[in-house]
Amino acid sequence: MNRRLPPLNSLKTFEAAARHLSFTRAADELFVTQAAVSHQVKTLEDFLSMKLFMRKNRSLLLTEEGQRYYLDLKDIFRALQDATEKLLAKGAKGAITVALPPSFAIQWLVPRINRFSQENPDIDVRIKAVDYDEGFLDDDVDVAIYYGRGKWSGLVADKLHTEYLTPVCSPLLFQSGRPLNQLEDLRYHVLLHDSSREAWKAWIKQFNIAGVNVNHGPIFSHSMLVLQAAALGQGIALGHSVLARPEIESGRLVCPFAEKQITNNAYYFVCHPGQAELGKIAAFRQWLIAQVQADQQNEAF
């Protein structure tokens, strides 16, 4: 029995145009011209003998038939993508692309990644630094390390490090002539802020420290920047346990106080459902978790 299928390239073009409701955006996504998109859609409409789009007030809209067709095709394209991802994930060779925050990449993953390469010579790791996550994995990303509370719709997440905050500073501050013996002595020093002043405010409140003005001191957009400023003796930062650990072990930073605040957020390994135990993704996940467990056993900060 012969199967009468529409032109597959036209289907792909129609799905993109219907998703964006724009021939221009579909053309950008598919790396073709707008005229090529229009031609492919016309080819599909001729094959089906029906209109799939209509223009109204300079807007592109789906016809009733086009809307029904798009909803069915959307699920089919999603199933095709899932099947392809599962097939690629089963392979224990090839490349794996990991998206993660730049600070975590610099302070934690990059210093260790050669260990993974030595243990898994057939897998090449591609590191993609991203400033924030949008709660989904881009098409060019296999897995991610996200910072948050572990709830991202449509993804599975394994908690890595439990995060806590504690003040960190350069040893030079002890030679500044300003006291740094008890929590109240924070009032005599510049507070360095990571992204906003909220973290210091919460920390001061938890430990009920009087007389400290948290509404002063520079604000840095990245955790690495605030740690660098602290290491240069410019003030006291709230160090994230994972990110500050290398600087503390090197002696560039010290913890003047023992008090620690557990955070609600943590670092998580994230991937698509059903892929955590497959091929190269499973190899990277198992190695990552083993590295974290080793860290926690040796943790001194």
- C-alpha count within 13 angstroms, C-beta hemisphere, residue 140: 5
Report the domain count for the chain: 3
Q: 77: pLDDT confidence band, cut at 50, 70 and 90?
A: confident
Give me the chain's average pLDDT, please: 89
Burial track 44-76 (b if 16+ CB lie within 10 A, e otherwise): bbeeeeeebbeeeeeebebeeebeebbeebeee
Q: 161: pLDDT confidence band, cut at 50, 70 and 90?
A: confident
**How far apart are alpha carbons 1 and 72 in whole angstroms?**
23
- Residue 147: give the domain boundaries: 95-156+265-297
Q: Which SS3 state, helix, strand or coil, does residue 8 take?
A: helix
Q: Is 39 within the bounds of a domain?
A: yes
1 has pLDDT over 50:
no
Identify whether residues 195 and 254 lie together within a single domain: yes
- Residue 39's pLDDT is what? 94
Residue that wins the pLDDT comparison between 83 and 74: 74
CATH number at residue 236: 3.40.190.10
Q: 260: pLDDT confidence band, cut at 50, 70 and 90?
A: very high
Which residues is 162 bridged to in the sheet?
266
- Tell me the pLDDT tens digit for each residue of 133-157: 666 677 788 999 999 888 888 889 9
Q: Is 1 within the bounds of a domain?
A: no
Identify whether residues 184 and 107 lie together within a single domain: no
CB 232 within 8 A of CB 108: no
Burial track 201-222 (b if 16+ CB lie within 10 A, e otherwise): eebbeeeebeebebeebeebeb
- Residue 91's pLDDT is what? 54
- Residue 90's pLDDT is what? 55
Identify whether residues 189 and 260 lie together within a single domain: yes
Structure tokens at 23: 């021939």
Structure tokens at 136: 């989904």
